[in-house]
Amino acid sequence: MSKQNIKAIRGMRDILPGQTSWWQRMERQLAEVLALYGYREIRTPILENTALFSRSIGEQTDIVSKEMYTFTDRDGSSLTMRPEGTASVVRAFVEHNLARAEPVNRLFYLGPMFRHERPQKGRYRQFYQMGAELLGSADPAADVELVDLMVECIGSIGLRDTSLQINSLGCDECRPAYREKLVSYLHGHEGSLCDDCKRRLRVNPLRVLDCKKDSCVAVSQDAPHMVDFLCDECSGHFESVRLGLETLGRSFEVNHRMVRGLDYYSRTTFELVAKGLGSQNAVAAGGRYDGLVEQIGGPKVPAVGFASGLDRILLLLQQELKEPESMPVVYMVTHGDDAWLKGLELASRVRKTGIKVMADVRRGSLKAQMKRADKDGARFVVLIGDDEVASSTVSVKDMAGEAKAGEKQMSVPVDQLVHWLKTNLEKEKAK
Ligand code: ATP
Ligand code: MG
């Protein structure tokens, strides 16, 4: 009987060392920008009670109705692997009463999210999001800060070929009148809508505007615009947001069809779209959610936030940039038992000074070890044999460019090795 190989789950992938350097660089760059704006990290569990998501994101949304990883725990309770970050952040915000300590909270998160979707390029079942939430202000300044932060974050990673789209969904005061107008328009075109949209028309008509099917897009092209129905307050808010963005030089387009796929949004919504990903082109998106904190059982706290899909951003970056360079490395080659011990000790000592050292762990012939040093991209090879042990020196070989070709080796006293390496690596940096 043949044993069947166990593979990773469809839509969930390993991120191997060749890729993790990209992720680490991206996370570093994001952390720097977030710190500049005063955002602090929050980490919430991957599992939450199912009700948290179904209530906040909305029963009728794609995420809740067909994309969640939900299962029954051993005690019978229904748990769900988080499909997005905002609901969990708001739950934690309420649970720990963060509003009491600080009227305004600036939070960010980064981690895996789970949605049972059809896997394809830029779409996975486990994917990674970085998001930021600004809780405690209803002022348009908060919307502007969030949008500005979103564009800055994505730009700092290196993705600048993006366009910003914004819209306003109004509030509970003005949206019903718009919804009525939209429904009567859509009824007139029901024959051209897909089956999903026929259902949406009854349960959540705004969501029809979000459908990506050609026939539905054609219908929604001439649909009435929410911005024409905004109440005075919502209209003033939207105007201030636009003014703020213009002042910051963040150019944008108003996209009347952008309603976003989650029920908790009100007023401003926004999306950052990249060129070059086909239909999987949204790299970051968000909006204002003034009712969510109360809905999850907290006080009335207005808020605004965004989330960005890091997998997609990396796909785009890798089309343009070369791999992040790793720092120069010293490779330790030894020959003979005494040298082997000396090498162990020396490698450890050099590392403690902050220089990256890789020691050959297979020994064997000098030639074989040198080959491996070359393959691993060593900048300097430190060689220790019987002669070196006897004279308390090491031989150092420069593996870069011309120096490598000219079989030149330098003899350096053991106690000067760290100093020698530091000086030569500094020289490298100065170039
Ligand atoms: P889409 O319209 O592409 O399905 P969405 O509206 O469902 O996106 P959000 O819930 O707003 O996406 O999540 C924010 C970002 O997370 C998206 O813009 C996208 O970059 C990323 N994202 C969402 N779902 C996935 C997924 N299955 N795989 C990879 N990235 C994703
Ligand atoms: Mg989606």
pLDDT digit string (tens) for 222-232? Answer: 999 999 999 99
More confident residue, 425 or 140: 140
Residue 426 banded pLDDT, cuts 50, 70, 90: confident
- Give yes or no for residue 1 having a pLDDT over 60: no
Which pLDDT does position 29 carry in this prediction?
A: 96
Ligand 1 in contact with 312 (CB < 6 A)?
A: yes
Residue of 280, 281, 314 to mutate, ligand 1, most atoms within 8 A of C-beta: 280
Using one digit for the tens of pLDDT, what is the confidence trace for 102-130?
A: 999 999 999 999 999 999 988 999 999 99
Average of per-residue pLDDT across 254-277: 88
Query: pTM surpassing 0.85?
Result: yes
Which pLDDT does position 2 carry in this prediction?
A: 67
- Give yes or no for residue 22 having a pLDDT over 60: yes
Query: What percent of the chain lies above the pLDDT cut of 70?
Result: 95
Which pLDDT does position 281 carry in this prediction?
A: 84
Radius of gyration of the chain, Cα coordinates, nearest whole angstrom = 28
More confident residue, 401 or 18: 18
Average of per-residue pLDDT across 69-76: 98
Residue 429 banded pLDDT, cuts 50, 70, 90: confident
- Give yes or no for residue 321 having a pLDDT over 90: no
- Give yes or no for residue 175 having a pLDDT over 80: yes
Residue of 12, 127, 211, 262 to mutate, ligand 1, most atoms within 8 A of C-beta: 127
Nearest CA to ligand 1 atom 28: 123
Residue 404 banded pLDDT, cuts 50, 70, 90: low
Ligand 1 in contact with 286 (CB < 6 A)?
A: no
* 3-class secondary structure per residue, the chain: CCCCCCCCCCCCCCCCHHHHHHHHHHHHHHHHHHHHCCCEECCCCCEEEHHHHHHHHCCCCHHHHHHCEEEECCCCCEEEECCCCHHHHHHHHHHCCHHHHCCCEEEEEEEEEECCCCCECCECCEEEEEEEEEECCCCHHHHHHHHHHHHHHHHHHCCCCEEEEEEECCCCCCHHHHHHHHHHHHHCCHHHCCHHHHHHHHHCHHHHHHCCCHHHHHHHHCCCCHHHHCCHHHHHHHHHHHHHHHHCCCCEEECCCCCCCCCCCEEEEEEEEECCCCCCCEEEEEEECCCHHHHCCCCCCCEEEEEEEHHHHHHHHHHHCCCCCCCCCEEEEECCHHHHHHHHHHHHHHHCCCCCEEECCCCCCHHHHHHHHHHCCCCEEEEECHHHHHHCEEEEEECCHHHHHCCCEEEEEHHHHHHHHHHHHHHHHHC
Average of per-residue pLDDT across 39-49: 98
Residue 277 banded pLDDT, cuts 50, 70, 90: low
Average of per-residue pLDDT across 58-65: 89
- Give yes or no for residue 282 having a pLDDT over 60: yes
Ligand 1 in contact with 115 (CB < 6 A)?
A: yes
Which pLDDT does position 260 carry in this prediction?
A: 84
- Give yes or no for residue 427 having a pLDDT over 80: yes
**Ligand positioned closest to the Cα atom of 262:** 1
Residue 407 banded pLDDT, cuts 50, 70, 90: low
Which pLDDT does position 325 carry in this prediction?
A: 66
Residue of 89, 306, 308 to mutate, ligand 1, most atoms within 8 A of C-beta: 308
Which pLDDT does position 303 carry in this prediction?
A: 98
CA 117 to ligand 2 centroid distance, Å: 8
Ligand 1 in contact with 270 (CB < 6 A)?
A: no
User: Average per-residue pLDDT in the chain?
Assistant: 93
- Give yes or no for residue 323 having a pLDDT over 80: no
Average of per-residue pLDDT across 260-286: 86
Using one digit for the tens of pLDDT, what is the confidence trace for 124-148?
A: 999 999 999 999 999 999 999 999 9
- Give yes or no for residue 430 having a pLDDT over 90: no
Nearest CA to ligand 1 atom 26: 123
Residue 402 banded pLDDT, cuts 50, 70, 90: low
More confident residue, 424 or 105: 105
Which pLDDT does position 263 carry in this prediction?
A: 80
Ligand 1 in contact with 263 (CB < 6 A)?
A: no
- Give yes or no for residue 405 having a pLDDT over 70: no
Ligand 1 in contact with 385 (CB < 6 A)?
A: no
Residue 302 banded pLDDT, cuts 50, 70, 90: very high
Query: What percent of the chain lies above the pLDDT cut of 90?
Result: 81
Ligand 1 in contact with 127 (CB < 6 A)?
A: yes
